[in-house]
Amino acid sequence: MFSQKVTDNLRRSSGIRAMFEEGSQLKKTYGAENVFDFSIGNPDPEPPAETKEALKRLVLEDKPGLHWYMSNAGYQDVREKIAASLNRDNGCKLGADNIVMTVGAGGGLNVILKALLNTGEQVIVFSPFFVEYGFYIDNHSGKMVVIPTDAKTFQPSLETLEKAITPLTKAVLINSPHNPTGVIYKEEILRRMAALLESKEREYGTSIFLISDEPYRDVVYDGAKVPSVLSIFRNAIIGYSYSKSLSLPGERIGYVAASDRIENVEGLIGALVFANRTLGFVNAPALFQKVIGESMGAKVDVNIYQERRDILFNHLTSLGFECIKPQGAFYLFPKCPTEDVSDFKARALAHKIILVPGTSFGCPTHFRLAYCCGVETIKRSLPAWTALAEEIGLKK
């Protein structure tokens, strides 16, 4: 009766949402203050004051046309401001015509993939990976090719990447700062990756695009820097979202930026704009495009997340959990201390701890914790983590 593809995909759909729903039920039963929900990356800090003031000002001005259609690419003045910001930060030469405003990063990735992919062409992703990538690629008749990262560092393995590239490889999709590990990909590795892609392009006579999914680009700690893919890769396309940097996940506002060094970039932009329209987005939300334009440079205070990271990371590692300290984003990705991550998830639930098994990210040896849930929730959870560690015999 319904789409067989969608029906099949529902059966293997997001474990993140499943755990979020499980947490909602537990909260109804035991009270929200007694449940420790680390399931979903739903940032709880309020948007910056500049963003709120811009929204208030725009609404109260009641300017005619504020809610009308505009170019499918988005407002010209907003795209000019974004291009100028990217040029300052990346040393590139983008103009407004290199930018397409999108319905968040998820909408942006679908726009990019629709614009690029022919049936059966391949997109390489590194595991662990954000669970929706496979569905996004499949939406546009592509094939996702999953290759592992280095098991100790979660940095990309270029040797494995080289073996995975074929004449059907259309793109490599990366995410840095990374969900779920919090790792930032090293500049040296990215430069070597760029050289490898150019070498393979010459070998096969193809174009291979580097798609960079960057919703956490502005959520970094301890003075870490995120390497600029626009300066490193000739065929770079960025998908960005303001969901995390401005704490606006429900407003669904972001952009795609295409490098001015891409051959026939005008044709690519035309394809992106067409995809934005025909996927049914038509254009990104008009009001929040203007809000972004009016509050450029505003950011959520990342010290809020760093405090939470440190409390949770320090406690878990003191109990004997193995985990890389995140450089960015707001997730921990500890190694599962038992052989079966599903069994560990069940044990955690008994202590009212909601986590997401790494199977959702193509990495069943680990589990993810989203620490954007509030510092008091994290502090209240510490005794439960201690009890769980004692129950499974974890050694400090």
- pLDDT tens-digit profile of 175-193? 999 999 999 999 999 999 9
Residue 22 has pLDDT above 80, yes or no: no
Q: Is the peptide bond before 148 cis (omega within 30 degrees of 0)?
A: no
CA distance 186 to 176: 9
- pLDDT tens, position by position, 219-278: 999 999 999 999 999 999 999 999 999 999 999 999 999 999 999 999 999 999 999 999
- Bridge partners, residue 296, by sequence: none
Give the pLDDT confidence score for residue 112 in this predicted structure: 98
Tell me the C-alpha distance between 278 and 253, whole Å. 18
Q: What is the pLDDT of residue 6?
A: 83
Mean pLDDT of the chain: 94
DSSP 8-state code for residue 287: H
* SS3 call for 273: helix
Q: What is the pLDDT of residues 75-108, one digit of tens each?
A: 999 999 999 999 999 999 999 999 999 999 999 9
**Smallest Cα–Cα separation from 160: which of 152, 150, 170, 168?**
150
pLDDT at 336 over 90: yes
Closest CA to 134 of 117, 119, 146: 146
Give me the percent of the chain exceeding a pLDDT of 90: 87
DSSP code per residue over 249-310: GGG--EEEEE-TTSTTHHHHHHHHHHHHHHTT--SS-HHHHHHHHHTTT----THHHHHHHH
Please write the tens of the pLDDT for every residue from 284-299: 999 999 999 999 999 9
Is 184 within 8 Å of 177 (Cβ atoms)? yes
Q: Which pair of tokens denotes residue 37?
A: 């929900």
Average pLDDT over residues 310-316: 98
pLDDT at res. 28: 73
Q: Say what the pLDDT of residue 171 is.
A: 98
23 pLDDT tier (thresholds 50, 70, 90): low
Task: Work out the percent of the chain whose per-residue pLDDT is above 70.
Answer: 96
Among the CATH numbers 1.10.10.10, 3.90.1150.10, 3.30.1550.10, 3.40.120.10, which is that of 4-47+301-391?
3.90.1150.10
Residue 7 to residue 1: CA distance in whole angstroms: 10
pLDDT band at 15 (very low <50, low <70, confident <90, very high): low
> pTM, whole model, 2 decimals?
0.95
**Six-digit token pair at 59?**
């609404």
In whole angstroms, give the CA distance from residue 250 to residue 161.
Answer: 35
For domain 66-294, give the CATH number. Answer: 3.40.640.10
Is 104:338 a contact under the CB 8 Å cutoff? no
Given a cut of 70, whether residue 20 has pLDDT beyond it is no
Q: In the chain, where are the structural domains located?
A: 4-47+301-391, 66-294
pLDDT-derived band of residue 17, with 50, 70 and 90 as boundaries? low
Confidence of residue 33 (pLDDT cuts 50, 70, 90): confident
Does 27 score more than 80 pLDDT?
no
Say yes or no to pLDDT of 314 above 70: yes
More confident residue, 20 or 246: 246
HSE, side-chain direction, 13 A CA sphere, residue 125: 25
Residue 12 has pLDDT above 80, yes or no: no
Is the backbone peptide bond immediately before 177 cis, with ω within 30 degrees of 0? yes
**Mean pLDDT confidence for 43-47:** 94
